[in-house]
Chain A
Amino acid sequence: MATRYAVDGTATPRPDIALLEHEEAQHNAAVIALLREATRDDLELTAILQALLDGYGKAGDIAHVTGIPVRDVYNALKRLGRKVIMVRQHLQERERPQQEERDHVKKQSSPRQH
Chain B
Amino acid sequence: MSKSKAVPDSTELLYRLSRLAGEAEWTTEELQEALCEGGVDPDQLVQQVRTRVRALLKESPDPAPQAEDDASRAPQPLLGMLRDYTQRTPKAIAQAMDAPVPFLALVSKYPKAVPNSWRRELATRAEQALGAPQPLVMESLAQSFQYPIAASRDAPYPIQTLTYEDLLDRSGMSQEAKDFWRTLAKEAL
Q: Give the B-binding residues of A (Cβ under 8 A).
A: 24-25, 28-29, 31-32, 52-62, 64-65, 74-75, 77-78, 80-82, 84-86, 89
Contacts and interface: CB of A to CB of B under 8 A. Distances in A.
Given A78-B24, A81-B17, A81-B21, A25 B10 contact: yes
A54 B21 contact: no
B8 interface: yes
A52 B16 contact: yes
A85 B37 contact: yes
Contact of A56 (B3, B18, B39): B3
Contacts, number: 85
A75 B24 CA distance: 7
Interface in B1-24: 1-11, 13-14, 16-18, 20-24
B30 interface: yes
Contacts of B20: 57-59, 62, 74, 77
B24 to A, nearest CB: 4
Contacts of B7: 53-55
Given A74-B23, A77-B24, 18 more contacts: A29-B10, A32-B10, A32-B13, A52-B13, A52-B16, A54-B6, A56-B1, A56-B3, A57-B5, A61-B2, A62-B20, A64-B1, A74-B20, A77-B20, A77-B23, A78-B30, A81-B18, A86-B37
A56 B179 CA distance: 43
Contacts of A56: 1, 3-4
A78 B10 contact: no
A77 B21 contact: yes
